[in-house]
Amino acid sequence: MMTGVAEDEEKWLAAGIAGLQQNAFYMHRAMDSNNLRDALKYSAQMLSELRTSKLSPHKYYELYMRAFDELRKLEIFFKEEARRGCSIVDLYELVQHAGNILPRLYLLCTVGSVYIKSKEAPAKDILKDLVEMCRGIQHPLRGLFLRSYLSQVSRDKLPDIGSEYEGDADTIMDAMEFVLQNFTEMNKLWVRMQHQGPAREKEKREKERSELRDLVGKNLHVLSQIEGVDLELYKETVLPRVLEQVVNCKDDIAQYYLMDCIIQVFPDEYHLQTLEILLGVFPQLQPSVDIKTVLSQLMERLSNYAAISAEALPEFLQVEAFSKLNNAIGKVIEAQADMPVFGAVTLYSSLLKFSLHVHPDRLDYADQVLGSCVKQLSGRGKIEDSKATKQIVALLSAPIEKYNNVVTALKLSNYPRVMEYLDNETNKVMATVVIQSVMKNNTHITTVDKVEALFELIKGLIKDLERTAYDELDEDDFKEEQNSVARLIQMLHNDDPEEMFKIICTVRKHILTGGPKRLPFTVPPLVFSSLKLVRQLQGQEENPFGDEAATTPKKIFQLLNQIIEALSNVPAPDLALRLYLQCAEAANDCELEPVAYEFFTQAYILYEEEISDSKAQITAIHLIIGTLQRMHVFGVENRDTLTHKTTGYSAKLLKKPDQCKAVYACSHLFWVDDQDNMKDGERALLCLKRALRIANAAQQMSNVTRGSAGSVTLFVEILNKYLYFFEKGNPQITVAAIQSLIELITTEMQSDTTTPDSTADAFFASTLRYIQFQKQKGGAVGEKYGPIKV
Amino acid sequence: MASRRRMLLKVIILGDSGVGKTSLMNQYVNKKFSNQYKATIGADFLTKEVQFEDRLFTLQIWDTAGQERFQSLGVAFYRGADCCVLVYDVNVMKSFENLNHWREEFLIQASPSDPENFPFVVLGNKVDIDGGNSRVVSEKKAKAWCASKGNIPYFETSAKEGFNVEAAFQCIAKNALKNEPEEEIYLPDTIDVAGGQQQRSSGCEC
């Protein structure tokens, strides 16, 4: 059916073109032989093709353009005729003999153009005549094209100021009046189309109207190009007249399009100076007009204008552009009760961008816009409409992008209130945008107030919002989010310990609401942030002024204890153990023995009660040994308790080789090289001896269960420990002991039951090489190693 | 007959919104310039008489809307063009990148008989801005593109200062003139002995 229509249309067009060409042919022939009568006759017949009602605007335009090109040649012919002495006035009369009105009016306009050029009569009179005569065509499509022809041929002949057709004092009024009248008539024709024909063809009609719109809008372009239309004239006459037509036509298609045209064709300065008039029209438009788009475009234009021409800024202030726009938006929303929330948000988003561009220093404006937006959103619950959501994200992103500084956004009290209306997912997206901005711009967030405000903004990431469905969470996304929160926590800093301590307390308050899934991500950065503060205070006189409220390492450690304790509910014992040990080490450096002891106690409790996996135990025990080894703050008693426990744990590991490794590592707890009061050679040796026994037992066990003794690696490792303490001067380690260990390993390696192990062989060989090397070194070392035979 | 046709040269100006198409035309035809941005709606032309090799021609210069939404009726006016002027803003990369699109769009819509040799002229406008410090498209780059499209003549212009505008349009007119007219040779199917033709009646009398 549709293709049928299109095919028919092609046929009609082809027929029209054929008719047109045939008559043009005769017209050319007549012109070539200077036969005016025939030229007029054939041109009229040619133009009759434009009387068709069968073509859509697009096709009609094609036909029109061909006729148009032919009329240019006719126009030249008319000029030549005039030069040859034919009176143009007569010509003007003569063409009116054409039988049909449409060809007659096309010819009249064509001669009229030559007439004006001849200056035999004032341009304004001829134009007035022509624009009146065109009323003869009331068929919308034909009328619109005829009038657009008139507009085109008169375009360079308007009695504009400075034009060669300039008339008397009122010349510019005449030029303007002509265009305005043509515009008004065209708009009437265009609007009338809507009401002609059967209702079922409404869609087709609207499509046709949409195709024709530029013919009407063109007049506004012409008005904007008239030199004499200055601001004064625009404000007093042009704009009110055009707007009057826009409002009174009561047609939503025309209103939407023409408002868009006005905004686009006239310059920014004019809009700024007539803002009140222009904005006053919006509430009067039909409720179905998409005002938000038009108004947004206006604000966008003005924002760009402000952005590129700084000298225009005082003008913006002078005309109070912001408050006018703000008021207008309020009125439009009020007038259009059915406007979806998306529309209102779009308007405020545009206004916010405008305000940020034009008044970057007026944060109160931005906050006001957000406040108005909140007012619109209130009572609607969370926003479900995805388009509206997108607009809110744009709205909220604008201040962050503009200032590149979240701190500025934090000053906007209505900012978090707008966020309330986002669904949980989008709320998180927005929170991520905030965090990314902090990261990217390395924004320093330095006070408790700002931290509070910041956490208010990102609370979607900090805790479960209502109605969160857990199973919808993507594990990777979640990790990503929480890692970004962790990074953010590291960025919160103030050099003043008091303020920093408050920041830490604030962060703690917030992250503790995060629940077991988030704590493993958020607790560590807070712990390290706190430890950084401890390091800063470390070495300072404890409470130098006796000020009870002052921040001291002790106070921080108390807090740390509570922070880490939160992990027990997760549970995350491995993580908590590491953090306790970190704290213990810091307490050690602050010379706080009881505090350090307490942290160790906590770590041990976790080890005993929570860490049951063998592998985790091995890791934990080595961490404990490593940390304890570095402790110097403990008195003999405390230290004994802790080392005793540690060696006990070591010897109770599940697998013999693991036991062995942990026990020989414990030897370091008794002999610390740089601590003179911790050089208990005997107990260090005891550890090594015990490790040897375990290694032996491991060999035997292996023999029984697998039929082979396993590797000698453990023995070589123990030998290395012997050598270490030997070199460090532990008197309990004798040459004989080392000697016998070497022999033991050599024998073991030659034994049939030992599993060949090239790694162990190489290890042993390089150990021996080391001994050799030390022997050859000479001096005290060489002397020490001398007696060892390899 | 052919002479009458040849007295009119049709030129179409194309390019992105805001590159200065209307300003170039106004500068050339009226020697006027306005700094204000005013969008163009639809298409229309201004004419200018040019003297060339002792003959007088009328240059019909079509200014067009750069914004697609103001081109609702399509581009039937491309038909019969003798030269197409492609304009970009030397300070806006996108407007240069879009030249290709405008050129191809023109060739498709106007479908000249010999697209390979259809005359184009490229204008890099707004060279005055910020003393040339904000330009992002170098002359070399623009010329390379023009060379790759069959040695399109290239001009750097400033509609604001009138720089090179006259020279550019001289070249445009010259190239338009070189374009072979595509006059459709029309022969009527029947010789109308009576010298007249039946009026086709269609509907109302208007």
pLDDT digits 0-9 by tens, A551-583: 889 999 999 999 999 998 888 999 999 999 999
Residue of A681, A741, A740, A733 lying closest to A715 (CA atoms): A741
Q: Which residues in chain A have Cβ-Cβ distances shorter than 8 Å to B74?
A: 58, 61, 211
Q: Does A690 touch chain B (CB under 8 A)?
A: no
Where residue A245 falls among pLDDT bands split at 50, 70, 90?
very high
Q: Which of B41, B79, B126, B205 to mutate to test the interface with A (most CBs of A within 10 A)?
A: B41
- Mean pLDDT along residues A672-676: 83
Q: What is the ipTM of this complex?
A: 0.89
User: Strand order in B55-64's β-sheet?
Assistant: B43-52, B55-64, B8-15, B83-89, B120-125, B154-156
Q: Does B193 touch chain A (CB under 8 A)?
A: no
Q: What is the largest CA-CA distance in chain B?
A: 71
The Cα of A80 is separated from the nearest Cα of chain B by a number of Å equal to 11
Q: Is residue A190 predicted with pLDDT exceeding 90?
A: yes
Would residue A104 count as lying in a domain? Answer: yes
Q: Do B8 and A57 touch (CB under 8 A)?
A: no
Residue A51, both tokens: 């009387």
pLDDT at residue number B185: 63
Q: Which of B73, B89, B201 to mutate to test the interface with A (most CBs of A within 10 A)?
A: B73
Where residue A623 falls among pLDDT bands split at 50, 70, 90?
very high
Residues A678/A670, Cβ–Cβ less than 8 Å: yes
Where residue A381 falls among pLDDT bands split at 50, 70, 90?
confident
- Mean pLDDT along residues A232-242: 96
- Mean pLDDT along residues A253-277: 95
User: Degrees (nearest 5) of the Cα angle A360, A324, A400?
Assistant: 25
Number of domains in chain A: 1
Cis peptide preceding A571, ω within 30 of 0 = yes
Q: What is the largest CA-CA distance in chain A?
A: 139
Where residue A1 falls among pLDDT bands split at 50, 70, 90?
very low
Q: Where are the alpha helices (DSSP H) in A95-238?
A: 101-118, 123-133, 140-154, 171-193, 202-225, 231-233
Where residue A788 falls among pLDDT bands split at 50, 70, 90?
confident
Q: Which residues in chain B have Cβ-Cβ distances shorter than 8 Å to A260?
A: 69
Contacting B residues, span 17-36, partner chain A, CB-CB under 8 Å:
22, 26, 29, 32, 34, 36
- What crossing angle do the helices spanning A140-154 and A171-193 adopt, rounded to 10°? 160
Residue of B7, B13, B6 lying closest to B165 (CA atoms): B13
Q: Do B39 and A268 touch (CB under 8 A)?
A: no
- Alpha-carbon span A597 to B178, nearest angstrom: 98
Contacting A residues, span 128-147, partner chain B, CB-CB under 8 Å:
136-139, 142
Q: Is residue A391 predicted with pLDDT exceeding 60?
A: yes
Q: Do A221 and B41 touch (CB under 8 A)?
A: yes
Q: Does A228 touch chain B (CB under 8 A)?
A: no
Q: Do B44 and A152 touch (CB under 8 A)?
A: yes
Residue carrying the six token digits 């008559």: A23
Summary mean pLDDT of chain B: 87
Summary mean pLDDT of chain A: 90
Q: Which residues in chain B have Cβ-Cβ distances shorter than 8 Å to A19?
A: 200
Q: Do A217 and B70 touch (CB under 8 A)?
A: yes
pLDDT at residue number A569: 82
Q: Which residues in chain A have Cβ-Cβ distances shorter than 8 Å to B22?
A: 225
First to last CA, chain B: 31
The Cα of B7 is separated from the nearest Cα of chain A by a number of Å equal to 9
Range of the domain at A95: 1-121
Nearest to A51 among B5, B195, B206 (CB): B206
Note the residue count of chain A.
790
Q: Do A217 and B186 touch (CB under 8 A)?
A: no
Nearest to B47 among A73, A156, A224 (CB): A156
Q: Is residue A672 predicted with pLDDT exceeding 70?
A: yes
- Mean pLDDT along residues A592-600: 95
Q: Which of B27, B79, B206 to mutate to test the interface with A (most CBs of A within 10 A)?
A: B206
Residues of chain B with pLDDT under 70: 1-6, 180-206
Q: Do A73 and B5 touch (CB under 8 A)?
A: yes
Residues A107/A47, Cβ–Cβ less than 8 Å: yes
- Alpha-carbon span B198 to A22, nearest angstrom: 12
Residue of B87, B66, B81, B101 lying closest to B24 (CA atoms): B87
Residue B57 CA neighbour count, 13 Å, CB half? 25
A327 contacts: CB under 8 Å, gap ≥ 6 = A279
Note the residue count of chain B.
206
Where residue A541 falls among pLDDT bands split at 50, 70, 90?
low
Q: Does A214 touch chain B (CB under 8 A)?
A: yes
Residue type, A202: K
Q: Does A266 touch chain B (CB under 8 A)?
A: yes
Residues B77/A65, Cβ–Cβ less than 8 Å: yes
CA dihedral A244, A249, A254, A256 (to 10 degrees): 60
Residue A389 CA neighbour count, 13 Å, CB half? 15
Q: Does B191 touch chain A (CB under 8 A)?
A: no
Q: Do A267 and B36 touch (CB under 8 A)?
A: yes
Q: Do B206 and A26 touch (CB under 8 A)?
A: no
Residue B157, both tokens: 């212009």
Burial category of A7 from C-beta neighbours within 10 Å (exposed 0-12, middle 13-18, buried 19 and up): exposed
Burial category of A145 from C-beta neighbours within 10 Å (exposed 0-12, middle 13-18, buried 19 and up): buried
Nearest to A62 among B8, B36, B76 (CB): B76
The Cα of B198 is separated from the nearest Cα of chain A by a number of Å equal to 9
Q: Does A100 touch chain B (CB under 8 A)?
A: yes
Q: Is residue A171 predicted with pLDDT exceeding 90?
A: no
Q: Do B184 and A21 touch (CB under 8 A)?
A: yes
Q: Give B62's DSSP letter.
A: E
Contacting B residues, span 130-149, partner chain A, CB-CB under 8 Å:
none
pLDDT one-digit tens code per residue, A113-131: 999 999 899 999 999 999 9
Residue A520, both tokens: 């493993």
Q: Do B36 and A99 touch (CB under 8 A)?
A: no
Residue type, A310: A
Q: Does A652 touch chain B (CB under 8 A)?
A: no
What does each C-alpha distance from A618 to A472, A663, A669 come to in angstroms?
A: 37, 11, 17
Q: Does A677 touch chain B (CB under 8 A)?
A: no
Which H/E stretch holds residue A764?
A: helix A758-777
Q: Do A76 and B8 touch (CB under 8 A)?
A: yes
Residue A680, both tokens: 């208990």
Phi-psi region of B20 (alpha: psi -120 to 50; beta: other; left: phi over 0): left
User: Degrees (nearest 5) of the Cα angle A228, A135, B65?
Assistant: 50
Q: Does B1 touch chain A (CB under 8 A)?
A: yes
Q: Give A465's DSSP letter.
A: P
| Beta-carbon pairs below 8 A across chains A and B | 133
The Cα of A51 is separated from the nearest Cα of chain B by a number of Å equal to 7
The Cα of A264 is separated from the nearest Cα of chain B by a number of Å equal to 5
pLDDT at residue number B203: 47
pLDDT at residue number A757: 81
User: Degrees (nearest 5) of the Cα angle B144, B146, B147?
Assistant: 65
Question: Looking at domain B2-178, which CATH architecture does it have?
Answer: 3-Layer(aba) Sandwich (3.40)
What does each C-alpha distance from A357 to A10, A309, A323 come to in angstroms?
A: 51, 11, 15
Residue B69 CA neighbour count, 13 Å, CB half? 8
pLDDT at residue number B140: 96
Q: Does A207 touch chain B (CB under 8 A)?
A: no
What does each C-alpha distance from A114 to A111, A353, B97 come to in angstroms?
A: 5, 51, 42
- What crossing angle do the helices spanning A681-706 and A713-728 adopt, rounded to 10°? 170
Q: Give A120's DSSP letter.
A: S
Residue of A552, A556, A525 lying closest to A541 (CA atoms): A552
Burial category of A696 from C-beta neighbours within 10 Å (exposed 0-12, middle 13-18, buried 19 and up): middle
Q: Which residues in chain B have Cβ-Cβ distances shorter than 8 Å to A65?
A: 76-77, 79
Q: Which residues of B145-177 are buried (b: 16+ CB within 10 A; e: fewer)?
A: bbeeeeebebbbbbbbebbbbeebbebbbbbbb
Residue carrying the six token digits 């740390």: A560
Q: Which residues in chain A have Cβ-Cβ distances shorter than 8 Å to B205?
A: 100-101
CA nearest B40 in A: which residue?
Answer: A221
CA nearest B37 in A: which residue?
Answer: A267
Q: Does B42 touch chain A (CB under 8 A)?
A: yes
Q: Do A22 and B197 touch (CB under 8 A)?
A: yes
Q: Which residues in chain B have Cβ-Cβ distances shorter than 8 Å to A108?
A: none
Share of chain A above pLDDT 90, in %: 64
User: Degrees (nearest 5) of the Cα angle A622, A638, A569?
Assistant: 60
pLDDT at residue number B1: 40
Q: Do A24 and B79 touch (CB under 8 A)?
A: no
Residue B111, both tokens: 């479908």
Which H/E stretch holds residue B2?
A: helix B2-6
Would residue A280 count as lying in a domain? Answer: no
pLDDT one-digit tens code per residue, A456-482: 889 889 988 765 555 566 888 889 999
Q: Is residue A308 predicted with pLDDT exceeding 90?
A: no
